[in-house]
Amino acid sequence: MQKLLLGDEALAQGAIDGGLSGVYAYPGTPSTEITEYIQGSKQAKDRKIRSDWSANEKTAMEAALGMSYAGKRSMSCMKHVGMNVAADCFMNAAVTGVNGGMLTVAADDPGMHSSQNEQDSRYFAKFALVPALEPSSQQECYDMAYEGFELSEKFNVPVMIRLTTRIAHSRAGVATRETKKQNEISLPKDPRQYVLLPGIARRNYKKLLSIQAELEKASEESKWNKYFDGKDKSKGVIACGIAYNYFRENYPEDKCPYPVIKVSQYPLPRKMVEKMAKEVKEIIVLEDGYPLVEEQIKGFLAKEPVRGRLDGTLPRDGELNPAIVAAAFGLKINPGADIPAVVAGRPPAMCTGCSHIDMYTALKEVMQKYGTGRVFSDIGCYTLGALPPYGVINSCVDMGASITMAKGAADAGLIPSVAVIGDSTFAHSGITGLIDAVRDKSPITIIISDNESTSMTGGQDSSAVGIIEKVCEAVGVDPEHIHVLLPLKKNHEEMVKVISRELEYKGVSVIIPRRECIQKAVRRKKKEAKEKKQ
């Protein structure tokens, strides 16, 4: 029988069945459910598949590379911006090559449902010169993970699977296959394969370049790329990943007049595209994310008009949907009634009882003395402190940037400057910035709003639990200026007093308001009550 699975879950099950030995990840929407599924899978537990959370995406991918070095099949999973953190490893892993099959899953978020940008991870695969797979269905999510390890081992390169939010968080029936054995431990045949000294790196890089033609051939022959002929040659359509579904919603196979190429494996199958270009008057490219394919084919098809996101046939930004695709073909859309004027926006908000609320209430009161524009924040639930009624924070850029931006602003003379960062983000990328601040004796106050959880993504375990004060002290923060507070309404006056005092200190202070995430506390209490009953 088919299993009803999210795209994320289908990918996870495909990896388990495909012989996975370890998954490494830092939570990030829309990728989180891949690793959570493996953590919750009895089958994965029985097969001793390693699945705990990593401190960040770079440590995750490096561990996956290490497991691959030892001959086993590994996978690292992240949201698109996690690829920026892991890029140092990713670009170089393409040059080292792999031993056991290695999958890198990048889950993009076109439309920015839960992200700060909509960068397209396919560029990273192209940049690193490695294959990328882009599923158009939950079944393909499963199959691509299942078969991706072999693709990686065959060509000796990491393989990227690129998801987008819609495929990651949409459910459908998935047929599973027989479970493969995990690889035995084995060392790379060449003991210097992973030593990227210039001489060896140059040799490896030439090898990587030399297989590009084979990778392209694999794309031409891939069952995931498909050429459909059509009688009407006025247009040809190239539809990538999930955009293929939106196209078929408008033009089902039995009612489609145009030639179509479905693209789900990269590098782009150039011969297929050239065949289409010879036959048709113009090509429309449908792709969710950036106009990667559109730009690329403009480079090698001088004479054919290519339409897509670059010439305005489709919007340059945002997520695709069936209506946008219909409009690109001049099809009529019949929207329902307008949204009545009475409907108000409902932005996300911090939960009632959240510890960040007590922290921000105190901070807001203190900052009145100094004026606005001095609080640098970070990525997590507490980013909602930018919205009313708080409106306290002035930045949210990338993981860990609160501490380093506060430092830079203080260096420029904005004294005092404040950083607000969560516990999990601190472990992810805050510690290195703290080392810089201590070294320069920067006059900044760092608030580590510790709810003992990675909450925005659903309450995963935080790598920072139990170590924050020790880490701060160990990297050189004066223990006199490290304070742990209990963020509750009744402690408001004390919090105001401590924050006010530390803002006047001309060095690095760390204030740690600590109270368990309210959602996590509710779940924990429910679980405890259930266990008590049994």
Partner 1 sequence: MKIDLILCGVGGQGILSIAAALGAAALRNNLYLKQAETHGMSQRGGDVVSHMRISDKPIHSDLIPIGAADMILSVEPMEALRYLPFLSPKGYVVTNTTPFKNIPNYPSEDDIMKELKKLPNVVIIDADTIAEEMGSKRSMNIVMLGAAAPFLDMPYESFENGLRDIFGRKGDDIVNANLAALKAGYDFSMKNRK
The residues of the shown chain that bind partner 1, judged by CB under 8 A, are 2, 4, 6, 29-30, 32-33, 113-114, 166-167, 169-173, 242, 245-246, 248-249, 252, 321-323, 326, 333-340, 342-351, 381, 384, 388, 456-458
CB atoms within 10 A of CB 119: 19
Direct distance between the N- and C-terminal alpha carbons of the chain, in angstroms, rounded to an integer = 32
- Measured CA to CA, the distance from residue 76 to residue 56 in angstroms comes to 11
C-alpha to C-alpha distance for 22 and 70, rounded to whole angstroms: 12
Q: How is residue 139 written in tokens?
A: 């079944």
Which is closer to partner 1, CB of 248 or CB of 483?
248
**Of 510, 519, 308, the residue nearest 419 (C-alpha):** 510
Residue with smaller CB distance to partner 1, 219 or 395: 395
Calpha distance 87→93 (Å, rounded): 9
In whole angstroms, give the CA distance from residue 450 to residue 512. Answer: 6
CB of 121 to partner 1, least distance (A): 17
Q: Give the nearest distance from C-beta 403 to partner 1 in angstroms.
A: 22
Please tell me the distance from the alpha carbon of residue 501 to that of residue 183, in angstroms, as a whole number.
58
Of the CA atoms within 13 Å of residue 135, those in its CB half-sphere come to: 31
| For partner 1, the closer CB: 178 or 253 | 253
Q: How near is the Cβ of 532 to partner 1 at its closest, in Å?
A: 17
Q: Minimum distance from CB of 114 to partner 1 (Å)? A: 3
* Nearer to partner 1 among residue 169 and residue 481 (C-beta): 169
> 10 Å Cβ neighbour count for 202?
12
Quote the CA–CA distance of 466 and 468 in Å, as a whole number: 6
Nearer to partner 1 by C-beta: 35 or 193? 35
3-state SS assignment for residue 525: helix
Report the nearest approach of partner 1 to the CB of residue 188 (Å). 38
* H-run or E-run covering 226: strand 226-228
Q: Going by DSSP bridges, is the β-strand pair 102-108/159-164 parallel, antiparallel, or unpaired?
A: parallel
Nearest to partner 1 of 338, 531 (CB atom): 338
Backbone angles phi, psi at 307, to 5 degrees: -110, 150
Residue with smaller CB distance to partner 1, 261 or 277: 261
**β-strand 444-449 against 417-422: which pairing, if any?**
parallel
347 versus 371: smaller Cβ distance to partner 1 = 347
